[in-house]
A and B are shown apart, each in its own frame.
Chain A
Amino acid sequence: MPILEGKELRIVGFLCNWCSYGGADTAGVGRFKQPTDLRVIKVPCSGRIDPLFIVKTLMAGADGVLVSGCHPRDCHYSEGNYYARRRLEMLKRFLPIMGIDPKRFDYTWVSASEGQRWQEVVTKFTEQIHELGAAPKIAGAEAEETLKLMEAAL
C-alpha cells in the first residue's frame, strides 16, 4: 500500500458507538484494505465530543483528527449529531486563527452498514494528512517524553 511507504503519522479518530464504529468494524470484517495511521477512540455519540477534545489532541501532538458519527436523522439519541454538527463546523472554522491547518481536522457521517464508505473516508483523510506532513509541535518536556515513548512503542 503506497500510503504506508515511509513513516506513519498520528491520526486520532473519534467514532460514534452506534454508526461509525460499527462501520469501521464492517470494513474490518469485510477485509477492506485501510491505512493504519488511525487510532480509534469510541464515544457513545458524536454529540459527546467536546470540540476541545480535538484541540487538545492536536496540541498534544496529533497530526490529524477525524470525527465520524451517524448520518443526520439516524442518531441513536435522536439529536446528538445535530449539536455535534454545529460545534464541529465552528471548530473547523476556528482552527486557522490558531495557526493550525483546518485540513488536519474533518468530520463526517458513516453508518454501521457503510464499510465501503468507511474505507473511502479513512483512506482519503489519511492521504490528506500525509500531504500536509507532520503537524508543528509545541515543544515541552512532557510532550516530548510522551512522543519518545510512543516512538519506542511503534
Chain B
Amino acid sequence: MQNLKDLKEQVRKALPELDVVIGWTGGYDPLHATPHFIRRDEDIDKLQVNALCVHNLATYLPSMRGKKVGIIVKGCDSRSVVELLQEKLIDRENVTIFGFGCNGVVDQTKIRRIVGDVGNIESCEVSGSEVKVSASGTEHKLAMSDVLSDKCATCRYPNAVLSDHFAGDEVTTTATFEDGYKDVEEFEVKPEEEKFGFWLKEMDRCIRCYACRNACPMCVCRDHCVAQSRDPHWLSQEAHVRDKWMFQVIHAYHLAGRCTECGECQRACPVDIPILLFKKKMNKEIKDVFDYEAGINPDATPPLMTFKIDEDKITERKW
C-alpha cells in the first residue's frame, strides 16, 4: 500500500494512549503475512500492509475487551468490527480503528495451485497487478486477477465503513449486491440430490479442527460452543459426516444475520471445504426478507434478534 507511511504515522501518534495496536507483519516465509501486535515504537517499523495481509484481525477484539486496543482494518474487517459493536461484544470507547482503502487480498490456495510447491518460497513481490513468487529456484509471475480472493472480486465495501483514522485515498467500486451472489445462484439451481451428494462428499474431508470457528470474528461462544457442549449434547465426537455437516449448519445458523462475509472460515479451512457458500446463502435470504446487511450500521439490530408484528415479506401458509 502506497500510504503505509501515513498509516505508520497515525499509529505512532495514537500508540501512547493504547495498550496494543493489531496489524500485520511478515510471516514465516515471504508469501505469508501474520498478525502483528504493536506495543512499542520499534514494532511500528515492522508493520506490513499489502495484498498478503488476509487475516481479519477483528477476531482478536472480543478477547481483549477492557483493554485500549487499536486495530488496522480493510473494508471487510471493518464490517466485523461494526457487527461486534452492534452486539455490544466490544466497547466503542476502547477501540481505535485505523482504516484504509483495500484493493483486495490474495487467495493462498490459488497461489498454491499455480505454484505447486510452496514449501520453499524464496521471495514474493506484490505490486498492484502482479504477484512475483520465486519458489524452489523457479520464478512465477502471477496476474493479481488470477490469485485474488473470490470475495475481493465482487467487493462492495473496499473502504473501512467506520474508522477513527483513515490512511490514503478511498477506493472506488462498482460492484452491486447481486454480483456477489452469482455463485450461490449457480449452485442453487442444481438438482436436490446433486447438492446433497456434493455436501456429503465435501464434508467427509472435514477433520473437525474447528479452524473455521476459531478464525471467525463472530464466533464468540468459545468454551460454550455447542460443538463441544455435553449438556445439551448436540454433536457426538464421532468423525462421521453427519456430525461434521451438522456443525457447519450450526455455524451458518448462529451467524444468520450477523455474518459479514469476511471469508475467514473458508480461508482457515485446511481441506478447502467451500463453507462460505452456506453463509452467503443465508445472507442472500436475509437481504431478501429483511432488506438487511450485517456490519454496516453500529446502531442496527440483527434481524433475528428482533421482530415485526406484521412482517413485510413473510406470508402465512394457506392450508
A residues neighboring B (CB under 8 Å): 51-52, 55-56, 59-60, 72-73, 79, 82-83, 85-87, 89-91, 93-94, 96-101, 106-109, 117, 120-121, 124, 136, 138, 140-143
Contacts and interface: CB of A to CB of B under 8 A. Distances in A.
Contacts of A90: 256, 282, 285-286, 289, 304
Given A140-B241, A140-B242, A85 B234 contact: no
B238 interface: yes
Interface residues of B, number: 44
Contacts of B250: 52
Contacts of B177: none
Contacts of A109: 316
B307 A83 contact: yes
Contacts of B51: none
B195 A51 contact: no
B314 interface: yes
A79 B250 CA distance: 24
Given A96-B188, A109-B316, A52 B234 contact: yes
A55 B282 CA distance: 15
B318 to A, nearest CB: 10
B246 A121 contact: no
A99 B307 contact: no
Overall SS of chain B's interface: helix
A100 B281 contact: no
Contacts, number: 100
Given A86-B307, A124-B319, A97 B286 contact: no
B263 to A, nearest CB: 17
5 contacts: A87-B256, A94-B278, A97-B188, A99-B195, A99-B196
B33 to A, nearest CB: 32
A93 B253 CA distance: 12
Overall SS of chain A's interface: helix
A90 B289 CA distance: 8
Contacts of A117: 319
For the complex of A and B, 10 pairs with smallest distance between CB atoms: A99-B196, A99-B195, A82-B307, A93-B285, A97-B281, A138-B242, A89-B314, A121-B319, A108-B317, A55-B249
Interface string B182-199: 001001100011111111
Given A73-B309, A87-B304, A93-B285, A106 B317 contact: yes
A97 B184 contact: yes
A94 B199 contact: no
